[in-house]
Amino acid sequence: MLTTHSPRRPGTRLTVLFAAAVTTAVLSAGTVAETLNIYSARQEALIKPLLDRFSDETGVEVNLVTGSGDALITRLTTEGRNSPADVLLTSDAGRLYRARQAGVLQPVSSDVLTAAIPANLRSPDNLWYGLSVRARVLIIAPDRVNTDELQDYEDLADPQWKGRICVRSSGNIYNQSLVAGMLAQQDSAQTQAWLDGFVRNFARPPQGGDRDQIKAVAAGQCDVALVNSYYLGAMLQSDNDEERQAAEQVELLWPNQSNRGAHINISGAGVTRASEQPDLARQLIEFLVREDSQRWYAETNNEYPVRDGVPHSRLLQAWGDFKADALDVSELGRLNAQAVMAMDRANWK
């Protein structure tokens, strides 16, 4: 559901408090309050603490509007030049590509961002920049899976895994991007053949989110699941005993380590086309790739820093180093439509 509020442009004397209350901000005489309005597809808990730090350091008020990535892009398109948003924060390169295609972002050049973020994790035309890295990994039941027989995503199409795989629906952007990544590196016939075999091996109709796939492996409903790694991290650190115990019964397996590497994706940000203060918006994005901010992503969200040399959290270190696919993540968006059609042909619901 899209959570909406009423952000205001810089110079306002109102601060939007996102408990749905609006209070009057008392400003000292002769001052003007700088304000940034953020449309975010990330849950508030996964980004607001960093935005609060930015406000504390700069004095810039940050108004946050949260919602699904696609809904926010639609909102930006509908609002057009009248949109109050300055920055779009979202997850998955596929959605950032959609924002680019919708024309709701403006290019912002930054030596800071170019130096900090690898070229394959940012838009070649400076429309968006990766902020954190997430990997789509295999979750296995260690007592029921022989890892000598499961090393790559491609192995999941083998008949030996029939009735043993859990995964969420084909409508999920993370799965679409995984398939798009395959299409970028092999011909469509190979990818289609893999999809056909993979779908035949499902233990149950696709359902639920990534946490549900992990729980299903722990409960013995399947032996292998495809998930983003940070979901496992969140469950291991959960206050919910059931979630934590389920996560402790499974193991993470890094796929394709002897060839192209594990599929990765990003969360990222871009400055909206409607923003009248792109320099201030750029400063916020630069703040989010600062080393201390990147450490926060690792320690709080269990995501991997987008910039090199940032220490990983203890949990990420425990999972070990892994080889990541070096594919330009822009390809995940460019090939999304082809991926969805291939998944439909394989009857991946």
Q: Do 258 and 332 belong together in one domain?
A: yes
pLDDT at 24: 32
With a cut of 70, say whether residue 318 has pLDDT above it.
yes
Q: What is the mean pLDDT of residues 285-304?
A: 94
* Better-predicted residue by pLDDT, 229 or 4: 229
Asked whether residue 41 falls in the same domain as residue 126, the answer is yes
Phi then psi for residue 72, to 5 deg, are -70, -40
Q: What is the pLDDT of residue 44?
A: 86
CA distances 229 to 101, 244, 253, 254, 346, Å, are: 28, 15, 10, 10, 25
| Whole-angstrom distance, CA of residue 325 vs CA of residue 323 | 7
The b-or-e profile of 76-95 (16+ CB within 10 A means b, else e) is beeeeeebbbbbbbbbbbbb
pLDDT for residue 342: 98
Provide the Cα torsion 171, 172, 177, 182; round to 10°: -60
Residues 35 and 126 in one domain: yes
Known binding positions for Fe cation: 230-231
6 in any annotated domain:
no
Instruction: Look at residue 1 and tell me if it is in a domain.
Output: no
- How many structural domains is the chain composed of? 2
pLDDT at 28 > cutoff 50: no
Same domain, 162 and 208: yes
Which of 27-31, 90-94, 340-344 is most confident? 340-344
In a domain, 8, yes or no: no
Residue 72 shares a structural domain with residue 166: no
Residue 77 domain-assigned (yes or no): yes
Cβ-Cβ contacts under 8 Å for 166 (sequence gap 6 or more): 202, 203, 204, 213, 216, 217, 221, 222, 224, 225
Is residue 81 included in any domain, yes or no?
yes
- H helices present in 201-301, as ranges: 210-218, 229-236, 241-248, 278-288, 291-301
Over residues 231-247, the pLDDT tens digits come to 999 999 999 999 999 99
Q: What is the pLDDT of residues 134-150, one digit of tens each?
A: 999 999 999 999 999 99
Average pLDDT along the chain = 90
Query: Residue 340's CB: how many other CB atoms inside 10 A?
Result: 18
pLDDT digits (tens, 9 = 90+) for 153-197: 999 999 999 999 999 999 999 999 999 999 999 999 999 999 999
pLDDT band at 42 (very low <50, low <70, confident <90, very high): confident
Beta-carbon neighbour count of residue 176 at 10 Å? 23
Flag whether pLDDT at 313 surpasses 60. yes
Structure tokens at 23: 């209070």
Burial class (CB in 10 A: 0-12, 13-18, 19+), 68: middle
The answer to whether residue 4 scores a pLDDT higher than 50 is: no
For residue 202, the 8-state DSSP code is B
Residues 313 and 329 both lie in one domain: no
Q: Which domain holds residue 84?
A: 14-133+266-318
Annotated binding site: 230-231
* pLDDT > 80? residue 215: yes
Q: Are residues 287 and 341 in the same domain?
A: no
| DSSP secondary structure letter of residue 324 | B
Q: Which whole number is the average pLDDT over 47-66?
A: 94
Helix axes 93-102, 336-345, angle to 10 degrees: 120
Query: pLDDT digits over 108-139, tens only?
Result: 999 999 999 999 999 999 999 999 999 999 99
The answer to whether the CB of 158 falls within 8 A of the CB of 165 is: no
pLDDT reading at 19 higher than 60:
no
Do 290 and 218 reside in the same domain of the chain?
no
Domain shared by 207 and 81, yes or no: no
Structure-model confidence comparison of residues 10 and 209, the more confident one: 209
Q: 138 with 124, same domain?
A: no
Average of pLDDT values for 79-85?
96
- Same domain for 147 and 244, yes or no, is yes
Are residues 138 and 128 part of one domain? Answer: no
Q: What is the average pLDDT across 293-298?
A: 92
In a domain, 3, yes or no: no
Asked whether residue 5 carries a pLDDT value surpassing 90, the answer given is no
What is the CATH number for 127?
3.40.190.10
Per-residue pLDDT, 13: 33
Res 14: pLDDT: 31
Q: Is the pLDDT of residue 326 over 90?
A: yes
User: What pLDDT band is residue 46 in, cutting at 50, 70 and 90?
Assistant: confident
pLDDT at 309 over 60: yes
pLDDT in tens, 274-293: 999 999 999 999 999 999 99
The helix-helix angle for 93-102 and 173-185 (nearest 10°) equals 90
Answer yes or no: is pLDDT of 21 > 80.
no
Inside any domain, residue 9: no
Is residue 25 pLDDT above 60, yes or no? no
Q: What is the DSSP string of 169-189?
A: -TTSHHHHHHHHHHHHHS-HH
> pLDDT-based confidence at 33, cuts 50/70/90?
low
